[in-house]
Copies of this chain bind each other. A is one copy, B any other.
Amino acid sequence: MPNAYQLLSTAELDSLIDQLEQATDEIRAKGLKLDMARGKPSPEQTALSRPMLDMLTSETPLVDGNAIIDNYGTPDGLPCARKLAAEILDVDPANVIVNGSSSLNLMHDLVVNGLTRGIAGQEPWFRQGEIKFLCPSPGYDRHFAITASFGITNVPVPLLEDGPDMDVVAELVENDPQVKGIWCVPKYANPTGITYSDEVVRRFAALKPAAPDFRIFWDNAYAVHAFGDTDDKLLNIFEALKDAGNDNLVYEFASTAKVTFPSSGLAFITASEADMAEIRAAFAVSRVSCEKFSQFAHARFLRDLDGVREQMAKHATLVRPRFELVERKLTEGLGDLGIASWTHPHGGYFVSFEGPEGSAKKIVSLMKELGVIMTGAGATWPYGKDPKDTNVRIAPTYPSLEDLGAALDVFVVVVKLVAARLERSSR
């Protein structure tokens, strides 16, 4: 079906372009300074966690059961923090390590471990020739940056409505022993906001990798991050592994970066018993033990999964209006034109926007010119190469509602202008 601009005569199109260029001139004159680049909680959201700063004082007994908080020890993390993390991930606390404030850092260190020491008794990857990681795309730029930085080949695979295209994934994982990992954000995926279906999770759990040292990097970053009325349900992949009779296949990560404080939350990892033993051995070399005061404060503040849910409900009241505004502004501005589509997530931090072919770089660049910073076009694809140059990531949480509204008004004008110009130049 032709889109609205294709139906215009060339004269009509030229007039539209004139009109939109005038609109951008007016915007430019305002000298806007707005930022929709990264998935950052707003100041109102981070303020929700301020009471955590009252949890510990100089009078607090610094013990958690037998664990000593103010000295070395408990390299797997405090029992109270491991319990909390295990509740969030619905796994056994015995298989959880809480360490540091960055789950990205844990992922990085496990890629390093595969690369340098090897996984499951196999040779280190760097002695195995070309190594490949699968990258469901569009996906998370910081994941792709880790593997790319080590010279690992990032192989894009299609991300569909219900998760990665599992026919493609299975074909590659089960036949190519050079494929050692896949980057997944299984719930409220960055950036499309979709959640993997039960069927997709089951197919992941049933994979028979060609490489015994293949692992799924299951970054469950948005496990408890619903903001709407519905919370997507993600099948527990460790349950699915049991059903499939599989084991030693998944590293699962999460953090409280967007539950409490970005950069200063808790980061954790869980895996099979055998994998955890290997991870413990690797971490024993690189860390004496973990920062424990933040763990203790978190456990006191969030208490348990119910406490986490209460906290996330407060976040939702702040996040939901922003996503509603995105939906409303895009629908009002672009809904009837057929030149673009976007996702309608129930949680997470992003809306993924698809413009006409060849539009994304132009859109982001013109937005910047007009004073609105967005995530770089292409960032959601390995090596920054979006094959059709269509995907733009919208991160609506950080700006105030007013600023977000202003930024989206600019976005609508910019998308229209870029689309109209593309149509014009195709004639």
Contacts and interface: CB of A to CB of B under 8 A. Distances in A.
Contacts of A105: 286-287
A384 interface: no
A153 to B, nearest CB: 15
Nearest to A101: B291
A332 B247 CA distance: 60
Interface residues of A, number: 58
Contacts of A288: 102, 104, 142, 257, 262-263
Nearest to A148: B285
Contacts of A71: 40-41, 43, 46, 261-263
Interface stretch (A112-120, A211-219, A338-346, A402-410): A112-120
Contacts of A49: 70
Contacts of A43: 70-71
A9 interface: no
A292 B101 CA distance: 10
A294 interface: yes
A412 interface: no
The interface residues of chain A, by DSSP majority, are classed as loop
A335 interface: no
A51 interface: yes
B145 A264 contact: no
A44 B72 CA distance: 14
Interface stretch (A55-63, A175-183, A309-317): A55-63
A265 to B, nearest CB: 9
Contacts of A62: 46, 50
A239 to B, nearest CB: 30
B292 A294 contact: no
Given A104-B286, A117-B150, A145-B285, A38 B261 contact: no
Nearest to A267: B291
Given A108-B285, A126-B126, A294-B293, A263 B146 contact: no
A291 B294 CA distance: 9
Contacts of A286: 104-105, 108-109, 146
A142 B288 CA distance: 9
B291 A264 contact: yes
A289 interface: yes
Contacts of A262: 70-72, 288-289
Given A117-B150, A264-B292, 5 more contacts: A43-B70, A104-B287, A108-B286, A126-B127, A149-B282
Interface of A: 38, 40-41, 43, 46-47, 49-54, 56-58, 60, 62, 69-73, 100-102, 104-105, 108-109, 112, 115-117, 124, 126-127, 142, 145-146, 149-151, 257, 261-264, 282, 285-294
20 contacts: A38-B72, A40-B71, A40-B72, A50-B58, A50-B62, A53-B60, A54-B57, A71-B262, A71-B263, A101-B291, A112-B112, A117-B150, A124-B126, A124-B151, A146-B286, A257-B288, A262-B289, A264-B291, A264-B293, A291-B294
